[in-house]
Structure formats: C-alpha cells, structure tokens
Amino acid sequence: MSDCLFCKILEGKIPSTKVYEDDLVYGFKDIAPHSKEHYLFIHRNHTKDVNDLMDKSQQDLLDLFSAMKKFTENSDLSNNGFRIVTNMGPHGGQTVFHTHFHVLGGEQLRGFGR
Ligand code: AMP
Ligand code: ZN
C-alpha cells in the first residue's frame, strides 16, 4: 500500500536495520525499543492487523511465526526467553496499520502480572 510506512520499509523507500529476511517475511529493529532487544516482523503482503490477516490470508500468520522461530532459535533469545506481542486498534496501542509482531527480549521483561 502506497501510504503504509511498513510497505515503504519493505520497498526500501524508508531505511531500516534488517535482522531477518526471506521471500515472505522481513524482520527489523524497532526505532524506539521498549527492551534491550526489540524487533518487528512483518509479512510482505499488506494487511492492517491480525484480524484482517485472518480474514484474508491465514497462511501469512504461519509464515510470520515460522520466520520468528528461525530468527530466535539462532540467537540468545531462545536460551533466555522472549515475548511476542501484537497490538490491535486504539486501546491496543496500534500505531502502524500493517500487521506486525513485536519480538522483545534481551533482559528480564516486566508486566503481565510480574
Ligand atoms: P504499534 O504501536 O504496535 O503499531 O508498533 C509500531 C512500532 O513501529 C512502534 O514500536 C514504533 O517504535 C515502530 N516504528 C515506527 N516507525 C518505525 C521505523 N521507521 N522503523 C522502525 N520502527 C518503527
Ligand atoms: Zn503495508
């Protein structure tokens, strides 16, 4: 989509720091990290959020989780643990409307009752 920030990143029109790439999925560093390691994983197909993705192309979800597995199992994240998050809509805090998963780690994470 021409007005989508993450589509522009996929097209190389906006710079990003790549950490993972395959034919279907792109992973890059979050510009404003919430933890020592904070990456974003996006599919090359544009959908606006996970529910839109589930309506349009459920295979994309498997592609994304497969990519995150390949990435994390080749790093210390798999030894120490990490968190995968996706935000939906205003109350969820979604700010970029191209489905993405946050991969957070590199230190002890807080929240969710801890
Ligand atoms: P969300 O708030 O869940 O929609 O997540 C959007 C994320 O994109 C935020 O964590 C931002 O810090 C991140 N972000 C915004 N612009 C860029 C960019 N140009 N490069 C990397 N990450 C970005
Ligand atoms: Zn997009």
Ligand 1 atom closest to the CA of 95, numbered from 1: 4
Q: Is 102 a catalytic residue?
A: no
Domain segments of the chain: what residues? 5-100
User: Is residue 30 within 6 Å of ligand 1 at its C-beta?
Assistant: yes
pLDDT in tens, 45-82: 999 999 999 999 999 999 999 999 999 999 999 999 99
Q: What is the reported pLDDT for 32?
A: 98
Collect residues with CB below 5 Å from ion ligand 2.
Answer: 1, 4, 6-7, 46, 98
Residue 46 has what DSSP assignment? -
Whether domain 5-100 has CATH 3.30.428.10 = yes
Beta pairing, strands 37-43 & 25-29: antiparallel
User: Is residue 18 within 6 Å of ligand 1 at its C-beta?
Assistant: no
Percent of the chain at pLDDT > 90 equals 94
Q: Whose CA is nearest to atom 1 of ligand 1?
A: 94
Whole-model pTM: value is 0.97
As a whole number of angstroms, the distance between CA 18 and CA 52 comes to: 25
| Confidence grade of residue 112 (pLDDT, cut at 50, 70, 90) | low
Q: What is the reported pLDDT for 5?
A: 98
